[in-house]
Structure 1
């Protein structure tokens, strides 16, 4: 059973037996295997969970393709024309080859490679590195620096607030025992090595950082790496800080100086904001995804949903960025609200920039691809509280309508 975040889960006794996990099994660095009375409980976090869940049976080719068809239709229904594979590991390589050969790709797919399998995957997808072929390109590398703030595994500079074991949030999430500040998944040396590899290969690097301690590690090691690479300039590979939820205001100047693009999971404010209040307290929770402060520092950022953690509902994310309302109806961080126009930029032109595609996508202009969405109402004129109610009427990809809300069919747009 996997937690919705993908950072933790539980294995039953038959699974533990098949995996050879017992009370003496040592977890990998950056992971945890829960043990009680000398026996594993089945609960695992981060690198331990990721290591063992990859040994579960893969889906059949037919099941994979059908799942992709459904996912692609879902993305299109939300007006999305470019999607991301957040981390392609070695076992996913054959499945993506199958996807390419199937010819069902309509949306552009940008894939980021697990650094451990990067060389082999680059060999397999040599024709896709940095450029689209059959709607897929390899965008760069991906690494994880920490875990989940709602799961209390994100790495913080200051401890989480104490909560009673088993305390449940409004969406039913339970809090498991964990270190007070969470923990890192990679050593400083590994982070620096990955950064230097990405720079030398001129491959974009995405780093998953939720907690401010993980953000600090990324910033510190990036600066150290560039100091040893005098021919490389900050921002040359447009490095990305994925989630950046607890990015500190004191860290923003270095984010800008290093040319890092924060990609905020801002919908967390609504979906888990009330849990963040319990885990972090009012002051820190209000600074989740500091989009307005980033704007004040002249930092270009994007917004995402981390699907399938939540659905890829762009208009809900715009609503969250503008209103910052939690499930319980509270406002979390009034000073970090941004305008509708800035929220729309974050999911259009800034997204195109993040993918090195600002000359082809992100705005409607002569010479760019005809990738755009038709909404039932102008979000710049709508009441801010109604933004997430605005429906996508149609989605157009390169001049072809690939989704219509009325179900009347798709085809070339003239």
Structure 2
């Protein structure tokens, strides 16, 4: 078989490779040929895989011979869901994840980091300060960050500390004034504005639909030079994680315009798939007709439409069929969360997107939100429920077994989020109870139903760390050392498929990406160890050594 592949490749590509990789484990993720001794590329495409003796027949005087020195070559990782557009700004923001990902262990630590950041960066008074990764569930003794804390620490700067869910943030008084949030501001449907006890004054935390105008008003790069610099800085975060295709999960019209400009300027070093947010759908479609979707232009592809049905379980804004055990974000009793948009609007938007023939991504965390989507799907496509639309339910974290059955019946893709078993499992246990926390992100059951499940980081909600994500799916261990849902563990190979070939399927790119197969793009990553051979608990220690996009190295460790 290897000889046939080599002969076909040689006939099609002039018989000489640009580079040949050998001398380590080459894991193809291709079930027809799982491992090979060597791989050859030419003009950014894989032209041969197989025995080293056969592949070296494609060696010429200019061929680069790449000795892996015992390291492991894999397909480049594909990002099933993150918020790429935020990467363009967070490279210059303060990271405040809770340990071990960051220093934000309590309010005092957050305030100290903010003050040091402003002093070290010598940021002028009046300049907006942004930080990300605030995890209220990780705060010691339940003491949460508020407006007064930020006012005392940084009285001369507007400050936003973005919630780890990326569905909101804590603002100080100057930031609240900047975005015109006052005691008279009415909380919008599907939104949260936490008020100071005994008053109507906003106390800092703004979430969900109430946060959308703030998010839309945040500063973005403007000049060509700023756009190129921000794009390449953000994409280096992905390349460092071994990612060659990134996902922009909720693109506003201004974001689409910025990404298109960056693409025209030649700034992209990786591929970016952007999903237009529901609020801006008509505006984007007016300038980008449906026929323009699904095609890369300068490494940017408009992938489809994004609909958000609920919020985040750790922020207590995910929508459930039963109450939270700990009440709502402001202590509301019998709190089940609230939908971001009403069911009638979900039905309308889903039908509209289906009628346009565009792929649809839906954010749904809680089981009641998933019920809303399934009802909308049945409303929108009663005569074609199982059509291959590549409809993807992003997160699907608290999906029930009966809902997974419908996913399989209706040809729906679940993109799960196993990092929650590490970062937020204790919070889910407190908020939702042990039984539901044990079944969070049931990848084993999804795979056993034949679903092409994918896995994601939801960056910047969780750090951009694909090996840690794989570790979380394989081990399902929490930050506190407890295993949640041992029966939902998956194998390392299944986990790798959920971040390579299954993601390629999610984007209708399985013919060009996701495996190390002849004819596919030479999008590859080199790791210092083989995830299929190390002990499962050691997977998170594996280091990305090099990331290669279409045959060109875009990241190398230590450089």
Asked if Structure 1 and Structure 2 have the same fold, meaning a TM-score greater than 0.5 normalized by the shorter chain, the answer is: yes
**Which secondary structure state, in structure 2, belongs to the residue aligned with residue 81 of structure 1?**
strand
Structure 2 CA distance for aligned equivalents of residues 276 and 65 of structure 1: 40
Q: How does 1:372-387 map to 2 (within 5 A)?
A: 372-387=524-539
Do 2:378 and 2:385's aligned partners in 1 also have CA atoms closer than 8 Å? no
Alignment partner of 1:27 is 2:187: yes
Correspondence for 2:259 among 59, 78, 96? 96
* Cα offset, 1:176, TM superposition: 4.6
What is aligned with 1:146? 310
Do 2:370 and 2:399's aligned partners in 1 also have CA atoms closer than 8 Å? yes
Correspondence for 2:376 among 215, 218, 221? 221
* Cα offset, 1:34, TM superposition: 2.5
- Residues 16 and 381 from structure 1, CA distance in 2 versus in 1: closer, same or farther, beyond 3 angstroms? closer
Do 1:235 and 1:260's aligned partners in 2 also have CA atoms closer than 8 Å? no
- Residues 82 and 57 from structure 1, CA distance in 2 versus in 1: closer, same or farther, beyond 3 angstroms? closer
Q: Deviations over 1:196-227 (max 9, x none)?
A: 11111111110001111101111111112111
Structure 2 CA distance for aligned equivalents of residues 198 and 245 of structure 1: 23
Task: Give the aligned CA root-mean-square deviation in angstroms.
Answer: 1.9
Do 1:395 and 1:403's aligned partners in 2 also have CA atoms closer than 8 Å? yes
What is aligned with 2:319? 155
Structure 2 CA distance for aligned equivalents of residues 121 and 382 of structure 1: 46
Q: Deviations over 1:234-269 (max 9, x none)?
A: 242211100111111221111111211110011111
Correspondence for 2:216 among 43, 47, 54? 54
Structure 2 CA distance for aligned equivalents of residues 294 and 93 of structure 1: 33
- Residues 133 and 182 from structure 1, CA distance in 2 versus in 1: closer, same or farther, beyond 3 angstroms? same
What is aligned with 1:73? 236
What is aligned with 2:345? 190
- Residues 38 and 122 from structure 1, CA distance in 2 versus in 1: closer, same or farther, beyond 3 angstroms? closer
Structure 2 CA distance for aligned equivalents of residues 233 and 313 of structure 1: 35
What is aligned with 2:204? 42
**Which secondary structure state, in structure 2, belongs to the residue aligned with residue 9 of structure 1?**
strand
Structure 2 CA distance for aligned equivalents of residues 304 and 267 of structure 1: 8
Structure 2 CA distance for aligned equivalents of residues 82 and 361 of structure 1: 9
Structure 1 CA distance for aligned equivalents of residues 553 and 454 of structure 2: 25
* Paired positions, count: 394
Higher relative contact order (CA 8 A, sep 6+): 2
Q: Deviations over 1:343-397 (max 9, x none)?
A: 1111111000000000111111111111121222221111101011111222111
What is aligned with 1:170? none
Structure 1 CA distance for aligned equivalents of residues 522 and 203 of structure 2: 53
Q: How does 1:111-260 map to 2 (within 5 A)?
A: 111-125=274-288, 128-162=292-326, 176-178=330-332, 180-227=335-382, 230=383, 232-260=384-412
What is aligned with 2:506? 354
* Cα offset, 1:24, TM superposition: 3.4
Alignment partner of 1:309 is 2:461: yes
**Which secondary structure state, in structure 1, belongs to the residue aligned with residue 163 of structure 2?**
coil
Structure 2 CA distance for aligned equivalents of residues 53 and 141 of structure 1: 19
Do 1:29 and 1:47's aligned partners in 2 also have CA atoms closer than 8 Å? yes
What is aligned with 2:163? 3
Could you list the structure 1 runs, at least 4 aligned residues long, displaced by more than 4 angstroms after superposition.
125-128
Structure 2 CA distance for aligned equivalents of residues 43 and 31 of structure 1: 11
Q: How does 1:293-372 map to 2 (within 5 A)?
A: 293-372=445-524
Do 2:232 and 2:269's aligned partners in 1 also have CA atoms closer than 8 Å? no
* Cα offset, 1:406, TM superposition: 4.4
**Which secondary structure state, in structure 2, belongs to the residue aligned with residue 82 of structure 1?**
strand
The alignment's TM-score, normalised by the length of structure 1, stands at: 0.90
Q: Deviations over 1:55-84 (max 9, x none)?
A: 344444455543322221121121110001
Do 1:156 and 1:212's aligned partners in 2 also have CA atoms closer than 8 Å? yes
* Cα offset, 1:125, TM superposition: 4.3
* Cα offset, 1:273, TM superposition: 1.4
**Which secondary structure state, in structure 1, belongs to the residue aligned with residue 398 of structure 2?**
coil
What is aligned with 1:263? 415
Structure 1 CA distance for aligned equivalents of residues 494 and 219 of structure 2: 43
**Which secondary structure state, in structure 2, belongs to the residue aligned with residue 24 of structure 1?**
coil
* Cα offset, 1:318, TM superposition: 0.9
Do 2:454 and 2:502's aligned partners in 1 also have CA atoms closer than 8 Å? yes
- Residues 403 and 17 from structure 1, CA distance in 2 versus in 1: closer, same or farther, beyond 3 angstroms? closer
Do 1:223 and 1:258's aligned partners in 2 also have CA atoms closer than 8 Å? no
Do 1:198 and 1:205's aligned partners in 2 also have CA atoms closer than 8 Å? yes
Structure 1 CA distance for aligned equivalents of residues 221 and 259 of structure 2: 13
Correspondence for 1:110 among 257, 262, 273? 273
Q: Which runs of 5+ in 2 are unaligned?
A: 1-159
**Which secondary structure state, in structure 2, belongs to the residue aligned with residue 84 of structure 1?**
strand
**Which secondary structure state, in structure 2, belongs to the residue aligned with residue 34 of structure 1?**
strand
**Which secondary structure state, in structure 2, belongs to the residue aligned with residue 98 of structure 1?**
helix
Do 1:153 and 1:178's aligned partners in 2 also have CA atoms closer than 8 Å? no
